[in-house]
Structures are given as structure tokens and as C-alpha cells.
Amino acid sequence: MEFNTHIQVSAAKVKTSALAVGVFADGILSPSADVIDRASNGAIRAVIKTEFSARAASTLVLRNLPGVAAQRVVLVGLGKQSEYSLRTYARAELAFAAACVQARVGEATSALASIACAGTELRERARAGGAAVCEATYHYDSTLGKPDPHARPKLRKFAMLVERADAAKAQHGLREGEALGEGMSLARTLGNLPGNICTPTYLGETAKSLARSFKSIKVSVLDRKQIEALKMGSFLSVAKGSDEMPRFIVMHYKGPQPARRAVKAAALTAEGPVVLVGKGITFDSGGVSIKPAATMDEMKYDMCGAASVIGTLRAAAQLELPGEVIGLIPTCENMLSGRANKPGDVVTSMSGQTIEILNTDAEGRLILCDALTYAERFKPSVVVDIATLTGACVVALGSVNSGLFSTDDALAGALLAAGRQALDPAWRMPMDEAYQDQLKSNFADMANIGGPQAGSVTAACFLSRFTKAYRWAHLDIAGTAWRGGKDKGSTGRPVPLLLQFLLNRKPG
């Protein structure tokens, strides 16, 4: 996708295949819509009186309007002006781009970002708009025997109509939106690929390919023997049930280093890298504690935490963000075999703590805990792990909010704020010390589950036992990383939240 800006001229004079202008539900036209309306002798006002309600994200295409240079004017509904928000704007831009994809146009121009939106700057709107266009043009056909070339979006050029004084801000935002969109698209494709293709080895090769594309990324992929040398007994206990070899992927992004005097003395700009830890179970059968058959195919998405880490580092490298980000990805399959974990088994983690495995389907925490111990060697400023960890989180929060767990108020606040900015929300869940009692075991230092109550909370409490050396937060994305049913597919979340978190930490 090629993003650009058009310096504001009369909207009626913009030559483009499709031009988006906004209309509010209360009959108010945006400035560009008003210009088009006047040039076309009231064509827009006539239409909204009879057939366009301007409901948020609705569209109506007007062709060959007199006095208008654009081949198509796409009216985009913005809802009530009093309720207009960044989320409404992003939905509007997504709806316009989707209309352009359906119309099979190759280039388009939008005047939507120039509409004032309370509490936002143009750069934010341009970033959200760029990401929305990337979402609308995402297309998966990697595993189709005969991909239909006509199904692939033709839209390749997208411009925003802005004032000359705002062009630099808009271009900056579009650049960020493009990087975010590319990172999300990579994460989505990794999630959508089937488990027989997207194996632990495949994830490792994908990470290596990023290192070849971006000199700022270095990658090491550890094999079973190297993982054994690290004494990651908890991780390896999950991996041993599968014929697929486990991998431990270490991605190290190192951006340009700012002058020390430019670094703000704030709690969340402390020295030390940000470490992102992503759960990479490329297929989760549940093991001996086997999952129900009906939707087990969706367990290929159990590596979406890993995919989000890879996508976020790609976006950071494309934007050349300053500072360091480490991506740690323990990846394997959770399968049934004569070697697989059994309920009642006791394993020893890299930290030396022992774990009684009461449920083999609570395997994500078993691979994450060793990665969290490994993270200590980087002396991180913060560590955030991302995992499709618990069905209990889906019950609690559905598909709207990711679950956020942390005992660090400042870190939790920064992540929540980033989620709101990026339109990728999270909701903070409790981590009271009393929940730790549910993890007691008579035969090990802890059990890997805490019983039927507060399942997502006790999972986070389990992970917290391996994070005493640094500031830590956990994102449970089981409800937000993919959609099921007829819209089945990976969403790319929480790449927007994670990238925004890194952007907000940007020194200077």
C-alpha cells in the first residue's frame, strides 16, 4: 500500500477514482461534503433527505456528479456529531476502504481525517486511518489451491486530503499506520495458517526472515538440545508429546539510541529493554486433558501471542523506534502421545520451582514460565507476556477487551492508556494475593491450575511467581486474538496496543 497526502484544494477539484466525504446523522455535512454539495447543485443534501441516514460506518456511492472531478464520491456516515470519536472515525475509514475494495478501484482519496474529533490530533487520526485501510485490504489465500486473482484487492494507493500546514503530521501518522498495518497483517497471516504449516520451525524461519529484511533485528532460534541446556523443564514437558521439534525464539530489536540527555526521567522510560513474551503453541489439542472436538480446529490460533510479538517487532523496525525491544517466543505443539504430560506429573521449571500438572490443557503457562525466567538476563525495564491463555477470560470479557493483569499500577495504567489510544482496549483484572492459595499443591511448589473459580486470575497468579525480578504485566488475549464462526480469522490484536505502548515510551 502506498500512502500519501493531498494538499487541500477544493474537494470538488480532486481527481481520484473515489473520494470519501463525511456526513453526520443529524444532517450536518463535513466541510468537504459541503464543498461537493455546493459544486453539484445540492446533490448530497438531496440524497440524505431520502436515502442516506448517515449511520456510523454506512456508505453511499454517488457517481459522476456535475462539477466534481472525482469519479465517485463516497458518502460515509459518521453518526451523531455529539458522539463522534476516534473509534467512529476509524470505522468510517475502514468502511470507505472496504467500499473501494468492493468497487475494485486502484487508488482513492479520503477527506475524513481532516474532520475535527475531540481529544485527538491529526497524527492519531492518520495513524488509525492508515491501519484501517491495511485491515480493509488484508486478504488471505496462502493455502488455497487456486487463488482467485480477482478476489485480491486492487487498492494500492491511498491519500488523505489535508491542509498544507498539516501535511507533515498526516504523513507521519500514515507512516505509523502503515507500519502498524503491516505488523498486524503478518500476525494475522501467521495465525490463519494451519498448524501443519505454521509449526515451531516455521515461526523460527519467519523471525529469521525479518532479521534479513531489517538490520535492526537479530534473531537466535534455539533447538531442543539448547533448550535442555537451559534446564527449561516446564517448557520441554509440553513439547515432548509432539513429533514437532520445539523452538525458543529470541528476537532482539535495537533501534537508534537517543542522546542520554533526551531521555525523560519518567517511571516508564527507565533504562533497559522492553521484553515481550509470546505464547507460541502452534496447535493445542489439550493433551491428555483433551479439548472438545467441535472447535478444536481453532486451536491453531493458540500461537497468536507469538504472532503478535513478531508483528510488533516488525512494526518497530519499520518505524525505526529508538531503544531496545526483546521478543521471546517459546513455541511447540501440545499433543497426545505415550510421551505426553499426564495429570499428576511433576516437572521442574528453569527457575528451580516444581509444578504439579493437574490439567495438561493448562500448558501455555508451562511454556511461558520458563521464558519469563529467561527474561531476567536482559535486565529489562518491563516485561509483558501475551497469551491466548484461558477460556475463563473469554467468559469474563468476551471479544471486546483483552484481560490485563499486573500488580504494577503505573505499568498497568500505561498499557490501558495505550489500548484506548490504539482502539485495542484491555480491562484490568484483579490479582489479590488471596488468589495464590488456589495454586497450592501437596506434591510440588505449586499446581498448574487453581480450580474452576477465577481461572484467568489464577493463571496470571501462576505466571507472577516467575516475575519477581522485574516489572511485569500479562495480557490474556484468548477472546480478542481471533474470531470464530463465519468470520473465522485472526484479528492481529494486540499489536496495536503493544506498538502504541512502545510509541508512548519513545524517549525525547
DSSP one-letter code for 242: S
Is 261 noted as a catalytic residue in this protein?
A: no
- Is there a contact between 274 and 384 (Cβ–Cβ < 8 Å)? yes
Instruction: Single out the catalytic residue among 127, 247, 365, 471.
Output: 365
Enclosing H/E stretch for 52: none
Q: How far is CA 218 from CA 116, 145, 279, in A?
A: 42, 34, 20
Query: Residue 422 class from Cβ within 10 Å (0-12 exposed, 13-18 middle, 19+ buried)?
Result: buried
Is 291 noted as a catalytic residue in this protein?
A: yes
State whether the Cα torsion 476-480-485-487 is positive or negative.
negative
Q: What phi and psi values does residue 2 have, to the nearest 5 degrees?
A: -105, 115
Instruction: Single out the catalytic residue among 80, 231, 291, 506.
Output: 291
Cβ neighbours around 49 below 10 Å, total: 10
Give DSSP secondary structure letters for 383-421.
Answer: EEEEE---HHHHHHHTTT-EEEE-S-HHHHHHHHHHHHH
Rounded Cα distance between 500 and 319, Å, is 12
Enclosing H/E stretch for 8: none
Rounded Cα distance between 428 and 236, Å, is 31
**Helices first, then strands: H and E counts in the chain:** 14, 20
Q: Put residue 116 in one of left, alpha, beta given phi > 0 → left and psi -120 to 50 → alpha.
A: beta
User: Which are the contacts of 109, defined by CB distance < 8 A and separation ≥ 6?
Assistant: 6, 14, 16, 18, 19, 20, 70, 158, 159, 160, 161
Buried b (16+ CB within 10 A) or exposed e, 359-396: ebbbbbbbbbbbbbbbbbebebbbbbbbbbbbebbbeb
Pairing of strands 247-254, 324-334: antiparallel
Three-state SS for 117?
A: coil
Name the residues annotated as catalytic. Answer: 291, 365
